[in-house]
Amino acid sequence: MNASRASRPDVDNASVPDIAPPLISWFRQEARDLPWRRPGFPAWGTLVSEIMLQQTQVARVVPRLEAWLTRWPTPADLAASPPADAVRAWDRLGYPRRALALHAAATVIANEHGNVVPRDVDALLALPGIGDYTARAVAVFAYGDRHPVVDVNVRRVLKRALLGQGEPGPAKAKDDLPLMESVLPADRDDAAATNAAVMELGALVCVSRSPACDACPIADRCAWRAAGYPDHDGPRAPKQAKFAGSDRQVRGLVMAELRASDVPVARSEIELVWPDAEQRDRALASLLRDGLAVGDDTTGYQLPDA
């Protein structure tokens, strides 16, 4: 067994087969043709895509990513534009704080890294708004370095295949990263392919509901399948509240008003977007607190311009 797979938490390592080879073979045949997987795709594009893909469907990200990179092909290009432009270009991808974080990261990359996205995970983590997952994903998928990369799809696949658990449960980096590390081949290219393959399997085959086990390349090695698909009796990952009627929806409605206007929006106009005054005021206050809106009742409200 590969020495790089020497430790696997909560698993008898000797009894668990190597899942990397069949996953790599499957991925090289079945992987979706996505912009960030094409040869020559820039590290800046990988960083942008990873931030856009957070809690957002691939189909919604691809056209927005292509438009973004056409307009801002390098970090310096984005940094030279006001933050309001980034928020407007983000449009309806959701969680627009990501646009501000990306603008802030671009500014640091342009000013402190010679307009080149850093390769080192620690340097990536030092960028504004970049968390552990994004830093590792950029290092692996843009630069080919060997690190475990874990998202919810990866956790689901690993918990099912290796631990026999039907659901991924809450994220725990101290457990999740070593578990992914344990299945990575020593070869850097194979390790990057394994990271991508596990993600793809979780996105397309080993889905949360009704997994397509007949199409799974590691079905014969899956502990959950071998155990007869037992119900999950452990802790569960927290579920996101419904969007309809939520503060998130009201924030989005207020943001839409601000994006649509090149001049400050009066309080009276904002009051028209939602009937519940308390919820509307709470949404506006949160946008001001997050830096996604600036202004007051006297001057009106607008997107940040500096």
Q: How many angstroms separate the CA atoms of 200 and 198, rounded? A: 5
Give the bridge partners for 294, in sequence order: 302
Query: Two tokens at 273?
Result: 């977007």
pLDDT band, residue 35 (cuts 50/70/90): very high
Q: How many angstroms separate the CA atoms of 149 and 162, rounded? A: 16
pLDDT band, residue 183 (cuts 50/70/90): very high
Residue 95: is its pLDDT beyond 90?
Answer: no
In this prediction, residue 6 carries a pLDDT of 40
Q: How many angstroms separate the CA atoms of 77 and 107, rounded? A: 9
In this prediction, residue 8 carries a pLDDT of 46
Catalytic positions, please? Answer: 50
Nearest 10 degrees: CA dihedral of 133, 220, 228, 224? Answer: -20
Name which of 97, 58, 106, 59 is nearest 78 in CA terms.
106
In this prediction, residue 306 carries a pLDDT of 61
In this prediction, residue 260 carries a pLDDT of 86
Q: What average pLDDT is seen over the chain?
A: 91
In this prediction, residue 222 carries a pLDDT of 96
Residue 12: is its pLDDT beyond 60?
Answer: no
Query: For the residues 194-220, what does the mean pLDDT come to?
Result: 96
SS3 label, residue 63: helix
Q: How many angstroms separate the CA atoms of 42 and 141, rounded? A: 10
Residue 15: is its pLDDT beyond 80?
Answer: no
In this prediction, residue 17 carries a pLDDT of 58
Query: For the residues 19-24, what does the mean pLDDT come to?
Result: 97
Q: Tell me phi and psi for residue 170, to 5 degrees.
A: -65, 150
Nearest 10 degrees: CA dihedral of 79, 83, 86, 91? Answer: 170
Regarding beta strands 294-296 and 300-302, do their DSSP bridges make them parallel or antiparallel, or are they unpaired?
Answer: antiparallel
Q: How many angstroms separate the CA atoms of 278 and 65, rounded? A: 35
CA dist list (Å): 302 to 250, 272, 276, 294: 16, 16, 21, 6
Query: Two tokens at 41?
Result: 């795709």
Name the pTM for this structure. 0.85
In this prediction, residue 305 carries a pLDDT of 82
